[in-house]
Structure 1
Amino acid sequence: MCINNVERIESQSHSQSHEPSPTKGTTFLRTCFNGVNTLSGVGILSVPYALSKGGWLGLLLLLLVALLCFYTGILLRRCMDSDPLIKTYPDIGQVAFGRKGRAVISTFMYLELFLVAVAFLIMEGDNLHKLFPKESFDIFGMKIGGKQGFVLATALVVLPTTWLRSLGVLAYVSVGGVIASLILVLAVLWGGVFDGIGFHERGELLDWSGLPTTISLFTFCYCGHAVFPTLCNSMKDKSQFPKVLLVCFILSTISYGSMAILGYLMFGEHLASQVTLNLPAEKISSKIAIFTTLMNPITKYALVIAPIATSVEETFPFRESKMMSFLIRTCLVISTVFVALLVPFFGYVMAFIGAFLSITVSILFPCLCYWKISIGFKKFGVEMMVILVILFIGTFVAITGTYTALTNIVNEVQTK
């Protein structure tokens, strides 16, 4: 796989000059919008479920995860200061650990993107089945159940968007991500206040057994580190990037925390992996929430798949062939459909992504790269001790969360 494609894909809509003029680049406000849009994704659907697994004290974990991911985002910025040629996250890996570092970071990024695309399809199938529970599909004489049929239907809808090779066009399609998240929170709030659901559930203070799932899902919500270097390089004034991160994390945490509290008060221990699945389908507010949820993955699926597709295309002959690109992107969509049908468990898939991939990419790798580039393994001090503690805790949570998620997935597959 040609790892250099990550840089080319991520930088396609930004300036390519190593020394951009002060008049070029995005403003502070525009970068804040892009950053919030990066952090505010499908994770907002699962935060109430995450809180229900860990109890009310899980809100402290949400704040802790946000703080850690903000800190590791700052570490990535410091790594970039060490070399003006660093433009993307894989570049940081190469500066720190050579080609192996670039390859490892890129592999984790590609795998995370692939599984996010899978989660999109699962989510679409679940929510469409919620709206149309009696619907079924007859394909070549085979009767396919609602969820599976809707996954296939969603794949057919998004497939043509993956054939577009211009990320500039696709980027404009998904600019409504921040507004969609706000509408979703307001629709859920409306359901609790005006549609008779109420806020009567008390919930638990703490559930130790559910904490690995809680932390894994919360980490997934803040897994925007792969894009942070690109956002930084797109700015007119890169020195303001730490302030951008602060604004983005504060706004995202307010959004996630609000949704978690609302959902837990409304449905308590009965929360599904997606809060929209708990909403009464006949209510207008519920339909707005579900339709808003449905639009987000459809508009972002192609953007998620594009870096993987371009990287695979570079390994084949006739890489400029439109037919080859068509076949590769179609096969990628088919592979995500296969995984979505095989493991149709949104909450557990999200928990696995959060534990195995998001903790690694958003917490462990930034600490290791910064340690290697800026501190050095032979220098001891307070900062080194802080990083060692983060690495230890992050590794423990990643192992525990990954084991828990995989165990839950295997149990569900066996009982399916």
Structure 2
Amino acid sequence: GVGALSLPLALNYSGWIIGALLFFFGLIVTNYAAIILIKCLSYKEGVYTYPDIAEIAFGKMGKYIILVFFTLETITSSISLVILIGDSLQVLFPNTSIIFLKIISWAILVPSTLIDMKYLSYSSILGVLTAVFLTVVILINGFINNEQPGSLLNPMKTELWPTNWNYLPLSFGLLITGYAGHATFPSIYLNMKSPDKYPTVVNISFAISTVIYILLGVCGYIMFGNQTKPEITQNIKSSSYVLKILNQFVIWLVAVSPFTKFALFINPVNMFLELEYRSGPCKGVSTYDYCFFFIRFLSRTLISTLIVFIAIVYPNFDKAMELIGSLLFYTISAIFPCMFYLKMFSNSLKWWEWLLNIFFILVCTILSILGTIWSFLY
């Protein structure tokens, strides 16, 4: 996840001990939520999206309430991708207006939303390669550089506990962002060639992500300490010619990777709207009809335009991730799946499953509320 770029900053806010506890708690609860969410999706036939699950669990009102959170999460996550594209491109082209760079990105993002999901799923491997390569480049920089900041051999001062407890809640959202994205899981599951392998794929994906996140977060914090910037790529610099080339290459990857993720992130919103069109004004119209294709193109263009516009008006990546993580990722990727599971399978759950889900809901609710309030205060 793009939120991994802010993990060193999160550790700077939280310190090693609290940061580690929150990080592994987020890993456990989101991995668990990813599995039970698909159990809820398979509860009955005709359930295709996250809001559909909400309707089965809590009725029409529940569907609309969840739909608000669901829409906000997918849209704000997409906004964070556009912000990341702009920030990364500005590192590469410092004399170019960031607004202009985001407008250029819009021209590429809109067509990407029209590509079939199965092809986007393959292209999203670039995101994994980017995270791996970024981690490798961070390690290379850390072992080659001897001067602070930016060295693993001559590390910056780090803290076991928060140096400023007022900033601790800002880390709550940042530490879970790498494990979010559950709103897209139903559509990914339904587009899998072998859906029965979903739990295995989830567990392997989370395991690989965890290794990358630990290396990225730990090394980034050790190298830059309290000088860590909102995105670790903004800290990367070196006087070595070879390292400069490597650093520029990885920043290019970070800039390009969101282009492959954007359509995946926004697809649930597009899919939901198009299902509504087909049950309303476009009822009975073939998916391949020119009229429906035009409506589909117009709808996806307008949504993408709105997202890029908001990314221009609110350009701070760290503030966006703090708010998104606390307000939306905890709810969509942890709290709601546990609530769905309790409601839909209440008669078949063991006592410890009840306690586990209630514990996850309570802790995540507290972290979500505090993190959201602090993201507005600071």
Provide the TM-score with structure 1 as the length reference.
0.77
62-71 vs 88-97, greater mean Cα deviation: 88-97
Rounded to whole Å, the distance in 1 between the matches of 2:297 and 2:186 is 30
- One-letter identity of the residue aligned with 1:372: K
- Which residue of 84, 88, 104 maps to 1:153? 104
SS of alignment partner, residue 168 of structure 2: helix
Deviations 1:170-217 (A, max 9, x none): 334333222221111111111212255312112111213333222211
- Alpha-carbon distance in 2 for matches of 1:220, 1:394: 13
Which residue in 2 is equivalent to 1:402?
Answer: 372
Partner of 1:224: 181
1:183 corresponds in structure 2 to 133
1:77 deviation in Å? Answer: 4.4
What is the deviation of 1:113? 1.4
Which residue identity does 2:64 align to in structure 1? A
More displaced, 119-128 or 221-230? 221-230
| Matched AA of 2:344 | I
- 1:218-257 matches, cutoff 5 A: 218-230=175-187, 234=192, 236=194, 238=196, 241-257=198-214
The Cα shift of 1:62 comes to 0.8
Output one character per residue of 1:361-411: Cα deviation in whole Å (capped at 9) or x when no partner.
11111111111111259x994432332222221111111111111233xxx
| 1:118-129 matched pairs, under 5 angstroms | 118-129=79-90
Match of 2:334 in 1: 363
Q: Which runs of 5+ in 2 are unaligned?
A: 286-290
Give the Cα–Cα distance (whole angstroms) in 2 for the partners of residues 114 and 344 of structure 1.
15
Could you tell me which of 300, 303, 315 is aligned with 1:329?
300
- Does 1:389 find its partner at 2:359? yes
The superposition leaves residues 216-236 of structure 1 with CA deviations (integer Å, 9 ceiling, x where unpaired) of: 112221113234445556464
Distance 1:392 1:373 in 2: 19
Residue identity matched to 1:69: T
Deviates more, 1:74-83 or 1:331-340: 74-83
1:346 corresponds to 2:346:
no
Please report how far the alpha carbon of residue 252 of structure 1 lies from its aligned counterpart in structure 2 after TM superposition. Answer: 1.2
1:64 and 2:25 are equivalent in the alignment: yes
Structure 2 residue aligned with 1:43: 3
Counterpart of 1:198?
151
Give the Cα separation in 2 of the matches to 1:147 and 1:80.
Answer: 41
Q: 1:83 to 1:259 in 2, by over 3 A?
A: same
The residue identity in structure 2 corresponding to 1:118 is I
Q: Is the 8 Å Cα contact of residues 281 and 287 (structure 1) preserved in structure 2?
A: no
Count of residues in Structure 1 that have an aligned counterpart in Structure 2: 355
* Alpha-carbon distance in 2 for matches of 1:230, 1:317: 23
- Residue 177 of structure 2 aligns with an amino acid whose one-letter code is F
- Which secondary structure state, in structure 2, belongs to the residue aligned with residue 75 of structure 1? helix
Query: 2:170, 2:371 within 8 Å by CA — same for their partners in 1?
Result: yes
Alignment of 1:89-108 (within 5 A): 89-108=50-69
On the 8 A contact 1:54/1:209 being kept in 2, the answer is no
Deviations 1:300-348 (CA, angstroms, capped at 9, x unpaired) = 2233333323444544846844443333333222211221122111011
Q: Is the 8 A contact 2:13 2:171 kept in 1?
A: yes
Q: Structure 1 vs Structure 2: percent identity of aligned residues? A: 31
RMSD of aligned alpha carbons = 2.7
- Opposite residue 393 of structure 1, the aligned amino acid is V
User: Offset of 1:274 from its aligned partner?
Assistant: 0.5
Which 10-residue stretch deviates more, 90-99 or 392-401? 90-99
Cα distance in 2 between the residues matched to 1:155 and 1:179: 23
**Matched position secondary structure for 1:375:** coil
Match of 1:277 in 2: 234
Deviation digits for residues 273-324 of structure 1, max 9, x if unmatched?
1000111177122112211101111222233333323444544846844443
Residues 293 and 263 (structure 1 numbering): CA distance in 2 closer, same or farther, change over 3 Å? same
For structure 1, list consecutive stretches of 5 or more residues without a partner in the other structure. Answer: 1-40, 136-145, 409-416
Distance 1:352 1:44 in 2: 15
The CA distance in 2 between the partners of 1:334 and 1:247, in whole Å, is 35
Query: How far apart, CA to CA, are the structure 2 residues paired with 1:338 and 1:237?
Result: 36
- Mapped partners of 2:156, 2:46: distance in 1: 53
Q: Is the 8 A contact 2:73 2:332 kept in 1?
A: no
The one-letter amino acid of 1:403's match is I
SS at match of 2:169: helix
| Counterpart code for 2:332 | V
Specify whether residues 159 and 125 from structure 1 end up closer, same or farther in structure 2 by C-alpha distance, changes over 3 A only: same
Cα separation, partners in 2 of 1:246 and 1:168, compared to 1, 3 Å: closer
